[in-house]
Homo-oligomer: A and B are copies of this chain.
Amino acid sequence: MRRTSKSLPRERSARFGYLGRQTVNMTQLKNDTFLRALARQPVDYTPVWMMRQAGRYLPEYRATRSQAGDFLSLCKNTELACEVTLQPLRRYAMDAAILFSDILTIPDAMGLGLHFVEGEGPKFHNPIRTAADVERIQVIETQQDLPYVLDAVRAIRRELNGSVPLIGFSGSPWTLATYMIEGASTREFKRSKEWVYNSPELLHQLLDKLALSVIDYLNAQIAAGAQVVQIFDTWGGILSDSAYQEFSLAYMRKIIAGLVREAEGRQVPVILFTKGGGQWLESIADTGCDAAGLDWSTSMADARQRVGGRIALQGNMDPALLRAPAAAIEAEVARILAGFGRGEGHVFNLGHGITPDIDPDRVRVFIDAVHELSRPYHAG
């Protein structure tokens, strides 16, 4: 059902900017290994990309960022956001690019006043505290409210020139809500959980507006040229199994149902990544997503046995391995590949974003190990 092709109705095409975007040669893809793996089709090797692959571990990223000023200015500068997106691809043979942006662009566009404090992470000038705050929130219209994101998508697609697919992304409604409610990074999620347990109706109102916003946001990214989309549910794992279903997964299911799933004559796969969500894989597979992202706590063999017949799996090396000797990285890549085993439906990745302290040479060891060691698992 979720793979049924249907052409886009005209209004939708217009709304999401299909007609407005510049025509580029989008149908040719030199390397479609990533898309094939997501569709569980045969590949020659296991494709790989890294969450936060455009990031501070790269000296050229740090240089571009200091040119831009702060992190948010970098996100909003089309040329520089495009530049940092492409930087890792110039160094390594990655099989996908991911839009350089931040999950908090949506709350920023809603007027919460996103800013970054060095060493403390993201903060909001106007966090959500009351029913009136929720009432005031407007569902975003990406074309008007976040044009810079779409400009970046278009620019990156142009520059990629069909080399590898481009991933667009969004935070999950629950994950965005935690930041909006807490107003800053937190370890305890005290306020967010108070909303879950003390004010569930109000939280549902907020999540509903966020889900509608994410649908618009991801569809606009797809219309602008994103060929895959990933939903980052970074904080779904802090919930109880029951609260996860009600406050996080239900809204991701709603988003997936609202997405345009085809563009440029291809399926647009959706990857759902709930960090700490390994116990809930069966219900994640039921959302209609094409792939589930796994963190390193999940056994790849177990995961494949549980849901590998229905969806692709993405992951899941602990990024801490990238501080280990090359032989240890290669051994861990080999272990994860063996866990998935022969056959299709595996995209290699880290179990979470790469950290800033990693030596770029170790990333090469990782990427090359995935490519080389995976070939026997795909040989006819």
Chain B residues within 8 Å of A17, by CB: none
Chain B residues within 8 Å of A332, by CB: 197
- Please tell me if the beta carbons of A320 and B193 are within 8 angstroms of each other in the complex: yes
| Complex Cα–Cα for A298 and B240 (A) | 7
| Complex Cα–Cα for A278 and B297 (A) | 10
- Please tell me if the beta carbons of A194 and B320 are within 8 angstroms of each other in the complex: yes
A241 touches B (CB below 8 Å): yes
A32 touches B (CB below 8 Å): no
Within 8 A of B (CB), among A9-38: none
- Please tell me if the beta carbons of A197 and B279 are within 8 angstroms of each other in the complex: no
Q: A279-B302, A299-B279 are in contact. Are A197 and B320 (CB under 8 A)?
A: yes
A316 CB, min distance to chain B CBs, angstroms: 8
- Please tell me if the beta carbons of A241 and B323 are within 8 angstroms of each other in the complex: no
By a beta-carbon cutoff of 8 Å, the part of chain A in contact with chain B is: 187-190, 193-194, 196-198, 237, 239-244, 276, 278-279, 296-299, 302, 316, 318, 320-321, 323-325, 328, 332, 335, 351, 355, 357
Chain B residues within 8 Å of A318, by CB: 193, 197, 240, 243
Chain B residues within 8 Å of A324, by CB: 194, 197-198
A292 CB, min distance to chain B CBs, angstroms: 14
- Please tell me if the beta carbons of B323 and A194 are within 8 angstroms of each other in the complex: yes
Q: A187-B187, A279-B279, A279-B302 are in contact. Are A321 and B197 (CB under 8 A)?
A: yes
| Complex Cα–Cα for A188 and B355 (A) | 10
- Please tell me if the beta carbons of A242 and B279 are within 8 angstroms of each other in the complex: no
Q: How many copies does the complex hold?
A: 2
Chain B residues within 8 Å of A276, by CB: 276, 297
- Please tell me if the beta carbons of A242 and B335 are within 8 angstroms of each other in the complex: yes
- Please tell me if the beta carbons of B241 and A299 are within 8 angstroms of each other in the complex: yes
A33 CB, min distance to chain B CBs, angstroms: 25
Chain B residues within 8 Å of A320, by CB: 189-190, 193-194, 196-197
Chain B residues within 8 Å of A187, by CB: 187
A235 CB, min distance to chain B CBs, angstroms: 12
A59 CB, min distance to chain B CBs, angstroms: 21
Beyond A198-B323, A198-B324, A237-B297, 13 additional contacts (C-beta under 8 Å) are A188-B355, A193-B318, A194-B320, A194-B323, A194-B324, A197-B318, A197-B328, A240-B297, A241-B296, A241-B302, A242-B299, A242-B335, A276-B297
Residue of B whose beta carbon sits closest to that of A329: B197
Residue of B whose beta carbon sits closest to that of A295: B240
- Please tell me if the beta carbons of A298 and B325 are within 8 angstroms of each other in the complex: no
| Complex Cα–Cα for A194 and B282 (A) | 33
Chain B residues within 8 Å of A198, by CB: 323-325, 328
| Complex Cα–Cα for A357 and B335 (A) | 44
Chain B residues within 8 Å of A194, by CB: 320, 323-324
Residue of B whose beta carbon sits closest to that of A319: B193
- Please tell me if the beta carbons of A298 and B323 are within 8 angstroms of each other in the complex: no
Most buried by B among A188, A194, A318: A318
Residue of B whose beta carbon sits closest to that of A199: B324
A80 CB, min distance to chain B CBs, angstroms: 28
| Complex Cα–Cα for A123 and B298 (A) | 31
A67 CB, min distance to chain B CBs, angstroms: 28
Q: A321-B197, A324-B197 are in contact. Are A239 and B297 (CB under 8 A)?
A: yes
Chain B residues within 8 Å of A297, by CB: 237, 239-241, 244, 276, 279
